[in-house]
Amino acid sequence: MHRLLETRSDIDRTKLAYLGSSWGAKNGAIIPAVEDRLGASVLVVGGLWEEELPEVDPINYVRRVNVPTLMLNGKYDKSIPYDFRVKPMYNLLGKDRDLKPGDTKDITVYDTDHFVPRDEFVKEANKWLDRHLGQVK
């Protein structure tokens, strides 16, 4: 895939980010830990899920995430409860890489369930990506 990106003049390969929502945000604890081409990450309604096989269990990767990561979550999400799934993921996020709350990792919690209002998601994600990858030209 990245070979295709190399041929495109409209893509800056040095400014790639991971964006995941729900199941994709769960994988945001894995992919940014093993993919060194990423410069930032935005995870929407994600958290640690039930225990899985060790080779695909996010708990074995989340500490190694080394890119600035923003989490956007709903306070009343029944499928990914804040206290049991979201907060532990945020606390472990980048722990081995020294990600700092508010600086290289942040979380915003909305008074919603398993969604984030679209206008808020777009605003916060763009602000985060502009801050860590530079503004789009």
Amino acid 2: pLDDT: 55
Check which CATH number belongs to the domain holding 105 and give it.
Answer: 3.40.50.1820
8 is a domain residue:
no
The rounded distance, in Å, linking the Cα atoms of 128 and 131 is 5
Residue 10 domain-assigned (yes or no):
no
CA distance 14 to 37: 7
Does the pTM exceed 0.85? yes
The answer to whether position 7 is within a domain reads no
Q: How many domains does the chain have?
A: 1
Give me the mean pLDDT over the 64-90 stretch: 96
Other CB atoms closer than 10 Å to residue 23's CB: what's the count?
11
**4 found inside a domain:** no
Q: Where in the sequence is the domain holding 54, given as residue range(s)?
A: 15-133
Query: Three-state SS string across 90-137, please?
Result: HHHCCHHHCCCECCCEEEEEECCCCCCCHHHHHHHHHHHHHHHHCCCC
